[in-house]
Amino acid sequence: MSATMKDTADVSAVTARQLLIDLVSIPSPSDEEADAAGRLVEFFEAYGREAWIDEVGNVRAPADDSVLLTSHVDTVPGEIPVEVEPADEDDVAADVADETGVDVLRGRGSVDATGPLAAMAAAAVRTGVSFVGVVGEETNSRGARHLVADREEPEAVVNGEPSGATGITLGYRGFLAGTYVATSESGHTSRPEPNAIQHATNWWTTVEDAFEHDEYTPVFERVTAKPVAIDGGISEDGLSVETTLDVQLRIPPSLDAETVRETAEAELEIGTVSWAEPIPPVMESPRTEVARAFRAAIRKEGGDPRLLRKTGTSDMNLYAGAWDCPMVTYGPGNSELDHAPDERLSLAEFDQSVAVLTRVATTLRGGDE
Query: Looking at 74, 138, 315, 343, which residue is catalytic?
Result: 74
User: What does the alpha-carbon distance between residue 342 and residue 345 come to, in Å, rounded to a whole number?
Assistant: 10
Straight-line distance from the first to the last Cα atom of the chain, in angstroms, rounded to the nearest whole number: 13
Comparing CA positions, the residue from 114, 112, 166, 131 lying closest to residue 44 is 131
Write the CA distances from 243 to 188, 233, 293, 311, 360, integer angstroms: 17, 7, 52, 30, 51
| 3-state helix/strand/coil string of 195-240 | CHHHHHHHHHHHHHHHCCCCCCCCHHHCCEEEEEEEEEEECCCCCE
Is residue 267 part of the annotated active site? The answer reads no
Query: Looking at 91, 112, 137, 351, which residue is catalytic?
Result: 137
- Around Cβ 192, how many Cβ atoms within 10 Å? 4
CA angle 24, 27, 32 (to 5 degrees): 130
The helix (H) or strand (E) run that includes residue 277 is: none
Is residue 74 part of the annotated active site? The answer reads yes
Write the CA distances from 71 to 89, 129, 143, 332, integer angstroms: 28, 14, 10, 12
Q: Is the peptide bond before 113 cis (omega within 30 degrees of 0)?
A: yes
Q: Which residues are catalytic?
A: 74, 137
